[in-house]
Amino acid sequence: MSVISNVSRTFFNGYNVATTNWIYNSSDGNNATTGWISAKADNVVVQVCVASLYTKAMLYRIEGRQTNGLSRPASIYVTSVAAAHGVDVLHEVSEKIDQIRVGARLAVVTASITGSPCNFYAAAILTEIK
């Protein structure tokens, strides 16, 4: 087998997560229809990087959905990252889905300090194999 296509799609690039509401695809906002990209590929991997935080914890989740039928988001992976701990991880998506998105939010907003500046990165790597 050989790779015939390998495409990266960025959801977040050094985004300052500063809310307890879910944010999808940093420029799109937080409603049910934002942040979706096509995930029709033989292999889908999501790379997530969270730098050290100034707040208590940040959560992120990877969601998928089919565009036919219910067309409702379903969580593929959800986790939290604690303050003073960063993460740089790859999540292989084994489910065959039509669309995917990544969301992020703070667990708690402290008095004046939220997430550290430019602390969240997420991208999907879509690979087609022949």
For residue range 99-128, list pLDDT tens digits in order. 999 999 888 776 555 545 557 899 999 999
Q: What's the Cα-to-Cα distance from 76 to each of 23, 24, 96, 98, 101, rounded to whole Å?
A: 16, 15, 11, 13, 10
Contacts with 38 (C-beta within 8 Å, 6 or more apart), sequence order: 98, 99, 126
Domain that holds residue 92: 3-129
Contacts with 62 (C-beta within 8 Å, 6 or more apart), sequence order: 46, 75, 76, 77, 78, 91, 93, 100, 101, 102
| pLDDT at residue 89 tops 80 | yes
Characterize the bridge pairing of strands 74-82 and 37-38. Answer: unpaired
Helix (H, G, I), strand (E, B) or coil at 7: strand
Pick the closest to residue 107 from 83, 76, 87 (CA basis): 83
* Total domain count, the chain: 1
Paired residues of 108 in beta bridges: none
What CA–CA distance (Å, rounded) separates 4 from 114? 42
Exposure of 10 in the CB half-sphere (CA atoms within 13 A): 9
pLDDT in tens, 23-82: 887 665 667 778 899 999 999 999 999 876 766 788 899 999 988 867 788 899 998 887
Whole-angstrom Cα Rg for the chain: 15
Q: What is the domain-level CATH number for residue 47?
A: 2.60.120
